[in-house]
């Protein structure tokens, strides 16, 4: 049965990007349907077209037959059940990788609020006086990535060596750092380059560039 993934705009919807990448990396054939975000009900989980396909009123949602998996992590975990190599094989490495994914899914509220994903946009870099909570989130991401790259670097160029779900969950953070001109230490910049050269990340970005829609309030952040 061919699943259908409902996603928001590729330019803005980081939660949609994550399971989309996981599905592509797993080699699963799926149909994708984009529901442009914005307008009536946006920000309140009340966009009628989203409510029609997702019980939470949010995207992403993956429909498989008459079942709808309606959260990025729920979808991603289903994907890994089809493609177990998207988590490391060693139980402790796998647990650490799951912690990385969970930290992204449940954390970094200030970074997500102030550095909203906006793939097409480039803000002129300057000496940002980041708010304390944003700076703290950025520092934690840099610390975590540096630690994982140090621990798993010999096994490959991704966070846990080989490409895993953690990379799908943090890929949108690479695009945020690029959009808002966040200064990156070399090891982190090299990791982001790995992400930006991934064929499926590039395909998602090309989709974002081709989209006709924009969300003015997001485009105005740090203007
Ligand atoms: N916890 C959810 C969050 C999903 C989410 O917030 N999606 C946004 C788009 S990135 C959305 O659907 N927003 C619609 C709205 O705010 O009304 C997940 O991980 O899937």
CB neighbours of 92 closer than 8 A, spacing ≥ 6? none
Domains of the chain: 4-83 (3.40.30.10), 84-205 (1.20.1050.10)
Ligand 1 centre distance from Cα of residue 125 (Å): 28
| CA neighbor of 176 nearest in space, from 132, 218, 127 | 218
Q: Whole-structure pTM over 0.85, yes or no?
A: yes
- In percent, how much of the chain has pLDDT > 70? 99
Residues with CB under 6 A from ligand 1: 8, 13-16, 37, 41-45, 47, 50, 58-60, 71-73
Alpha-carbon 20 to chain mean position: 9
Distance 135 CA to ligand 1 centre (A): 23
Backbone dihedral angles phi then psi of residue 205, each to the nearest 5 degrees: -65, -40
- Whether 126 shows a pLDDT value over 80: the answer reads no
pLDDT digits (tens, 9 = 90+) for 45-60: 999 999 999 999 999 9
The CA 150 to ligand 1 mean position distance, Å, reads 32
Mean pLDDT on 98-124: 97
Strands laid side by side in the 31-34 sheet: 31-34, 4-7, 61-64, 67-69
- Whether the link from the prior residue into 60 is cis, omega within 30° of 0, is yes
Q: How many Å lie between the centroid of ligand 1 and the Cα of residue 37? A: 10
Which band of pLDDT confidence, cut at 50, 70 and 90, is reported for residue 127?
low
The protein residue whose alpha carbon is closest to atom 12 in ligand 1 is 58
How far is residue 119 CA from its own chain's centroid?
A: 11
Write down the mean pLDDT value for the chain: 96
Counting from 1 in the atom list of ligand 1, the atom nearest the Cα of 60 is 20
Q: Which residues pair with 160 in a beta bridge?
A: 162
Rounded to an integer, the average pLDDT of 16-38 is 98
176-216 pLDDT per residue, tens: 999 999 999 999 999 999 999 999 999 999 999 999 999 99
Gap between the terminal Cα atoms of the chain: 45
Tell how far CA 219 is from the center of its chain: 18
Give the pLDDT mean for 147-164: 98
Separation of CA 140 and ligand 1 centre (Å):
23
Is the predicted pLDDT of residue 86 greater than 70, yes or no?
yes
**Residue ID of nearest Cα to ligand 1 atom 9:** 13
Is 124's pLDDT higher than 90?
no
The pLDDT tens digits of the residues spanning 70-82 come to 999 999 999 999 9
Q: Where are the alpha helices (DSSP H) in 59-180?
A: 72-82, 91-106, 109-114, 132-152, 165-179
Structure confidence at residue 129 (pLDDT) = 82
Tell me which of 6, 10, 11, 15 to substitute to probe ligand 1's pocket, judged by most ligand atoms within 8 Å of the beta carbon: 15
What is the distance between the alpha carbons of residues 28 and 37, in angstroms, rounded to a whole number? Answer: 25
């Amino acid at each position: 049965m061919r699943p259908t993934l409902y996603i928001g705009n590729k330019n803005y919807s980081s939660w949609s990007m994550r399971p989309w990448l996981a599905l592509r990396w797993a080699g699963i054939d799926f149909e994708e349907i984009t529901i442009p975000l914005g307008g009536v009900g946006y920000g309140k989980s009340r966009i009628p077209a989203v409510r029609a396909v997702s019980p939470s009123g949010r995207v992403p949602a993956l429909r498989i037959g008459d079942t709808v998996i309606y959260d990025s992590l729920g979808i991603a975990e289903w994907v890994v059940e089809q493609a177990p190599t998207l988590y490391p094989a060693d139980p402790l490495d796998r647990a650490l990788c799951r912690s990385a994914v969970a930290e992204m899914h449940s954390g970094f509220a200030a970074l997500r609020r102030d550095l909203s994903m906006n793939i097409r946009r480039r803000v002129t870099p300057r000496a940002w006086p980041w708010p304390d909570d944003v700076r703290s989130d950025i520092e934690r991401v840099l610390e975590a990535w540096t630690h994982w790259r140090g621990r798993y670097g010999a096994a490959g160029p991704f966070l846990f060596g080989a490409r895993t779900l953690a990379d799908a969950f943090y890929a949108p953070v690479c695009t945020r750092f690029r959009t808002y001109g966040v200064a990156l230490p070399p090891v982190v910049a090299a990791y982001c380059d790995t992400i930006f050269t991934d064929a499926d990340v590039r395909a998602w970005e090309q989709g974002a560039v081709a989209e006709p829609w924009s969300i003015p309030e997001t485009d105005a952040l740090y203007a």
